[in-house]
Chain A
Amino acid sequence: MIASSRKRFIICLDTFLLINLILLLSPRMTGLPLHEVLVCIFLIPLMIHLLIAWPWIQSSTKKFFTTANGRSQINFILNSVLFILVITELVSGFTISEVVLVKLGIKTINDRSWRLVHNVTLNFTVLFAGLHIAINWGWIASIFKKRLNTPSQYNLEIFT
C-alpha cells in the first residue's frame, strides 16, 4: 500500500470508528437492538486501528520506563486508559446484552451493578475519546491540510 492510500485508509477507518462510537453513545437514535449490533461491528475497526498503531504501541511501551519524555508518557497513559475504558464498556455491554447474545442462545442477566459500570464508564469514555482526538489533532489536521493544498487531477483539468 503506498503512503497516501495508506493514510486515506487510516483516515476512513478512524472516521468510521468515531461515527460508530458516537452512534454507540446515542442508543435513543439506534434503539437497543441496533446498539448491540453496532458494538459487534465496532470491534473490527477497533482491532484494525490498534494493529495499525502497533509500531507506536510497541515503541512507546518500551520507552515508557526509560527514554520517554513527559508528554509521551502522558500520551501513553491516556491511550491505555481509553483502551481499558472501551473494553470495560464492551465487556459490561455484552454482560447485560438483551438482544444479540440472547438471539445467539446465550443466557444473560440484566444485572444492576454491571449496568452501573456500563453507564458510568460511558462518561469517562467520552472524555478520553475527546482527549485522544485532541492529542492527535496535529496529525489529523496535517492530513486534511495536505489534501486541501495538493491540487488534484480534477482541479488541474479545470484550471487549464
Chain B
Amino acid sequence: MIKTLVRVGVLVLAIAIIALALYGIVGKPSLARLYNQNEIGRFQPTFGHGIGQFLGETFLVAIVAFIARKWLGVRL
C-alpha cells in the first residue's frame, strides 16, 4: 500500500513538473488572449459528424501503428 502511494506520489510530482514547465512556457491564461468562439456550440454532437470523427481517429491511430509495425520495423 505504501509502495503504491509512493508511486502515485512520483507520478503526481512528474505531472506537476510538466504542468509548471507548461505554465512557464505559455504563461498564465490571460483575458488579453481570450478566445471568443462558442466551443460548446461548435462541438454540439451530431450523429454523422460524431461517427465520422470517431472512425477517422480510430483509423488514424490504426494506420500509424500499422505503418510503424510493417514498414518502420518498430518493435521490441
Contacts and interface: CB of A to CB of B under 8 A. Distances in A.
Contact of B57 (A31, A34, A83, A126): A126
Contacts of A47: 8, 11
B1 interface: no
Chain A interface size range: 35 or more
Contact of A138 (B19, B52, B75): B75
Interface residues of B, number: 45
Interface string A98-123: 11000000001111111101000000
A138 B74 CA distance: 11
Contacts of A23: 54
A-B pairs, top 6 by smallest CB distance, nearest first, are A130-B64, A29-B50, A134-B68, A111-B29, A109-B29, A31-B45
Interface of B: 4, 7-8, 11, 14-15, 18-19, 22, 26-27, 29-31, 33-35, 39-40, 43-46, 49-54, 56-58, 60-66, 68-69, 72, 74-76
13 contacts: A22-B54, A47-B11, A71-B76, A87-B14, A91-B18, A91-B19, A99-B40, A111-B35, A112-B33, A114-B26, A126-B61, A130-B65, A135-B75
